Amino acid sequence: MKFSILVPVYNVEKYLEQCVESLLNQTHKGDYEIILVDDGSTDSSGAICDKYAKNYPDRVKAVHKENGGHTSARLAAINNASGEYCLFCDSDDFVESYLLEAVANFLNQNHGTDMVIYSFSYYEDSIKIPRNMSVFENGEIFEGDKKKKLYELLITTPYINSLWTKAVRTEIIKNSNINYDALKDKDIAEDAYIVSHFVTDCKKIVYTDKPLYNYRTNRKSISRSYNPQKIGRKNSLFLYRNFIDLLPKWEMNNEETVNKIYSACFNYTVYLFRKHYEYAGSFKKRKAVLEYNWDSMLFDEVAANPYKYGSEIHNYIYKLISDKQYFRLNIWFLKNRIYQYFKKIKKKIRGV
């Protein structure tokens, strides 16, 4: 079988070579291609893509396009993919050398598999942060009614919503009825939206808890992404409406599941507020965050009775948001920072 590794590229000259080298240095002996899509980079990223395409013409393909965002770059990569399965890699991340070998083994051992889901490790400032967690049993197979466990996880957690922990049959990707236009003005939840459709369309899915991917966190980038001016681009209501629309296909169209989606939407909206407020660097920015119409991120049913769906802490915070309690919010965030600080100290003392 042949794999296609899809890599959207935009202004990542600092990390791109490590990413591509990790993809080139695979232990897998079979055929695979690396498709680098330069999404109108203004640094040397485009030139780096061309260098690899020139040096590895049988392995690497470089595609250049005008800047259109992450999703449009992925679409360009998909259109150029010729492998039986596609894997996704962000250009500031990197993979383990045995990624393709491990995926190929799972596919060979489980004939008819449409998707392999694998785990990942965090890297922060070049330091590996272990993730000692397994969502399911290693090698667990999901088909038929068992897929409902995946749908439940997609609705209620972020554990399996990333594209870069998936190998997906290319035919399914290209034939999936996804409204990519819905993602044009968004810079959040794209992966979960796309993954929900891929999981729906895949008949057989295999999970492995092997950490095959390395996700790089960048605090400066995170801080910039929570600029008050970008709040509207992080409205994830479209994702939860998408879940509602998929419920009949999942045979989960019942009040209990709808309420879980309502609850997830509410709690995630408060989470977004907390992140924006946390990274706001001035009084003016915090006021802008507080004055934003956060009800616009909720279903009408939730906005009418929000405290039915949230956790105790998030209900409390949302009440402060609704009442524009700037002073009390500052006190809560200060207390929370102190709590998190001492929590880290305790972990260091215990050697955790």
Phi, psi values for residue 216, rounded to 5°: -95, 125
What is the Cα–Cα distance from 102 to 86, expressed in whole angstroms?
A: 14
Q: 227 lies in a domain? A: no
Paired residues of 205 in beta bridges: 115, 142
Provide the H-helix boundaries in 25-167. 45-55, 70-80, 99-109, 148-156
Q: 89 lies in a domain? A: yes
Provide the pLDDT for residue 24.
98
Are residues 189 and 336 located together in one domain of the fold?
Answer: no
Q: 244 lies in a domain? A: no
Per-residue pLDDT tens, the chain, 352 aa: give them: 799 999 999 999 999 999 999 999 999 999 999 999 999 999 999 999 999 999 999 999 999 999 999 999 999 999 999 999 999 999 999 999 999 999 999 999 999 999 999 999 988 877 887 777 788 999 999 999 999 999 999 999 999 999 999 999 999 999 998 999 888 888 889 999 999 999 999 999 999 999 999 999 875 565 567 888 889 988 899 999 999 999 999 999 999 999 999 999 999 999 999 999 988 888 899 999 999 999 999 999 999 999 999 999 999 999 999 999 999 999 999 988 887 777 777 766 765 4
Query: b/e per residue, 39-66, with b = 16+ CB within 10 A?
Result: bbbeeebbebbebbbeeeeebbbbbeee
Determine the 3-state secondary structure of 327 from DSSP. Answer: helix
Q: 53 lies in a domain? A: yes
Are residues 65 and 159 located together in one domain of the fold?
Answer: yes
Q: Which amino acid is at 37?
A: V
What is the Cα–Cα distance from 108 to 327, expressed in whole angstroms?
A: 59
**Distances in Å between the alpha carbon of 59 and those of 9, 32, 51, 125, 202?**
17, 7, 12, 30, 27
Total number of domains in the chain = 2
Are residues 167 and 281 located together in one domain of the fold?
Answer: no
Residue 227 DSSP code: -
Domain residue limits at 85: 3-217
Are residues 199 and 83 located together in one domain of the fold?
Answer: yes
Domain-terminating residue out of 192, 217, 242: 217
Are residues 150 and 264 located together in one domain of the fold?
Answer: no
Are residues 76 and 210 located together in one domain of the fold?
Answer: yes
The beta-strand segments (E) located in 137-265 are 141-142, 166-169, 205-217
Are residues 145 and 268 located together in one domain of the fold?
Answer: no
Provide the pLDDT for residue 344.
73
Q: 148 lies in a domain? A: yes
CB 157, CB 166: distance < 8 Å = no
Tally of CB atoms within 10 A around 80: 15
Determine the 3-state secondary structure of 136 from DSSP. Answer: coil
Are residues 171 and 306 located together in one domain of the fold?
Answer: no
**pTM (predicted TM-score):** 0.92
CB 275, CB 217: distance < 8 Å = no
Provide the pLDDT for residue 164.
96
Domain-terminating residue out of 168, 195, 217: 217
Are residues 195 and 273 located together in one domain of the fold?
Answer: no
Element containing residue 13 per DSSP (H, E) = none
Angle at 150 between CA 164 and CA 118, to 5 degrees: 35
Determine the 3-state secondary structure of 169 from DSSP. Answer: strand
Domain-terminating residue out of 153, 188, 217: 217
Are residues 151 and 270 located together in one domain of the fold?
Answer: no
Are residues 200 and 272 located together in one domain of the fold?
Answer: no
Show the tokens assigned to 69.
């965002």
Q: Which amino acid is at 104?
A: A
Are residues 145 and 274 located together in one domain of the fold?
Answer: no
Q: 247 lies in a domain? A: no
Provide the pLDDT for residue 47.
98
Q: 111 lies in a domain? A: yes
